[in-house]
Chains A and B, each alone.
Chain A
């Protein structure tokens, strides 16, 4: 009798195993478009769902950091299962494009956004703009006390009070731009100076802004829109964004963007996905959906009220197409200076 029970238990275990495996292969067959998304699931899931609802095209989405997805695309080469690469950070797209792994997009698609948010070779197109900001704790500081430039953060005044996410793609892109604009020596000195000044590291933008909110640090170097997502959950969060002075590298404007993977066999569906991201609905969702606050890039969609316009943010003069070269150099410097361990 006991033996019977044991074998029945083993059988049940095997059954669960086989059926879950079967369910997985089944789920795999009905999907048609594979998207590598560097954008976080919690932010973009509604967009993915809406696309499937509107077009009937099923999506299989691999969510990971844009940098690791770019690495994966390069490792996979021609055998990549991906159709579309949607990155938080255009530099990773440029890097994949430089290896001939992204298709040229039609002018009608690229023409929907200002030219600074794509490249002449049309391998990727921006889907939203984002600005680098200094998030500050409103209980500890007033805007008048804040430094005019990102360079000032190495000042002893800010010792132990600055937090940032060193593995985040946008932070790395900012360092890449700084490298190009201000040279390797000055950038390295600044990075080292910050570390000597007790800068604190966080896993990503969200956790950095939360740390500013808790008062663990008073300042955070982040992208502007994470704050609004957190404010939607907790309107009392004592954090606000501050933009550095005109021309400062700390006020860089970056782009999230999308490209079609050369290995795709689903050209039409991939193109529909790209166009969907540049549709009024998606752009409005990215700009003004619940907790959203990115900059829309197509005409006729306005940014979230209360944000400075992209024209008002006078970031440094920097061509985003350069990031394909500057981003790997930045990652190397960050590894060398111990920001990435």
Chain B
């Protein structure tokens, strides 16, 4: 950053900036290298612990669940978004809020609550007992995992679809109507096709969520690659075989990303005109409003009222195993470590974001891609890689720093995408103007750019906070001795079968996450956070 750069317009990025950005990008990808090394170096004994038949079974089981959850989340989220945005269904605002609130519920808490509600002798059965319902069918296994993960993911589908429905150009729909198409035909032939890129992005988000989920599938007793990796981690001398399965999981994630990016570009409908969009006509449901209302009520009932109801109900009665305890210390740890991760993420992505925005080049795009890449990596794979990484660098071993690195690697992409998106709206001329008024390069950036990019940075940090608070597998593998978060406390409690005993902690976790979700939905920042 020399003074000469100030006098001639800087076309080339300052070395310091490139260096900082490169460091961040390399740090984001480095852990994966340790995973690869470990998996490749595995000996025959380790390979014998991942027989092909079991690997195939696990991959199929994981893929089957991902397909099921994507279908279910679309089936719930898309109609709901259409009803809320495009129709006159009563209570639209309420249903919109109810559809984004499940984001505060981590998947393992969702699984826990659904088990409590729908188990053969759970809350629902107890409520129905006077009617002669003695026992309900079990919801564990595939269908249990499907239900819990649908709860966790349909809000993403809803929010993305709702945002798209608000912004797509209604002219295609109007044209279809003008050509005599009925209401249904308009929906199927015009509206849905223009949603296609959004639905592909949402499906990708949901599929990656399912691939990396560990908590819900564990609690539901459904074996996937993540649970297999964890059981090998917990097992005797099977770390190398865990590394092999983690690579398989990363490969599966890559396949998913590849498939959706193809689907996304095919047959997309673009805006026909630039400029300010008009809003689409509100569809009057007429007598269909009652089934529509019933649908909205059912979704909110099953995915919000029921799980929260179970947590509250459990919180009010002592658990036979552990009594009833609120883990205040763990709550402080959860909030503290998530705040640290959020603040750090917002800061460390700055060099990359500024480089891409101000000095677009092949190099800056590469660094950007590298930093975004770990978002597609399942948390347990990142954690396992860092276990190996930490073992190599003793001072990091079992340290809080290593846990923070895991959160950063995994969630930094949210901060980057969000910061970048807000920078994109800043006209570089502003910075030049500040420079021409006598500001130094760094001063100009600080004075003009950051105030404008601040909202994006904050939204990104909020997303990182939310994701960190809800994170389970990396926290389990990497937490330092004696460091418990709400997530690990809940996990430990469920391992003892103390479902109702952990309910207060689960409620506390939800309460910590809730204001952040409120802030984010208010800023409508979800689109920015979606990986692409």
Interfacial residues, chain A to chain B (CB-CB below 8 A): 3, 6, 10, 13-14, 16-21, 24, 27-28, 34, 40-42, 60-65, 67-68, 70-71, 74-76, 79, 81, 92, 95, 167, 172, 201-204, 206-207, 210, 214, 216, 229-230, 233-234, 327-328, 331-332, 335-336, 338, 340-341
Contact = CB atoms under 8 A, between A and B. Distances in A.
Contact of B340 (A17, A61, A74): A17
B281 to A, nearest CB: 37
Given A65-B234, A71-B239, A327-B236, A214 B120 contact: yes
Given A214-B120, A233-B321, A331 B236 contact: yes
Contacts of B293: none
Contacts of B461: 13
B400 A40 contact: no
Given A13-B342, A67-B236, A207-B497, A167 B231 contact: yes
Interface residues of B, number: 55
Contact of B335 (A16, A28, A207, A336): A16
A67 B481 contact: no
B451 A206 contact: no
B482 A68 contact: no
A95 B236 contact: yes
Secondary structure of the B side of the interface?
helix
Contact of A17 (B233, B339, B480): B339
Interface in B308-353: 319-322, 332-333, 335-337, 339-340, 342-344
Interface string B455-470: 0001001000000000
A17 B336 contact: yes
B228 interface: yes
Given A6-B454, A41-B492, A167-B234, A13 B54 contact: no
Contacts of B481: 34, 60-62, 81
A164 to B, nearest CB: 13
A16 B235 contact: no
A6 B400 CA distance: 27
A75 B391 contact: yes
Contacts of B454: 3, 6
Which A-B residue pairs are the 4 nearest by beta carbons? A20-B336, A233-B320, A17-B340, A67-B236
Contacts of B320: 230, 233-234
Nearest to A233: B320
Contacts of A75: 239, 391
Given A17-B336, A17-B343, A27-B482, A341 B228 contact: yes
Contact of A24 (B58, B397, B400): B400
B497 A210 contact: yes
Contact of A20 (B221, B333, B397): B333
Contacts of B492: 41, 63
Contacts of B179: none
29 contacts: A6-B454, A13-B342, A16-B339, A20-B336, A20-B340, A24-B400, A42-B322, A60-B482, A63-B492, A67-B235, A68-B233, A68-B234, A68-B235, A75-B391, A92-B236, A167-B231, A167-B235, A203-B495, A207-B496, A234-B320, A327-B236, A331-B237, A335-B54, A336-B48, A338-B54, A340-B232, A341-B57, A341-B223, A341-B227
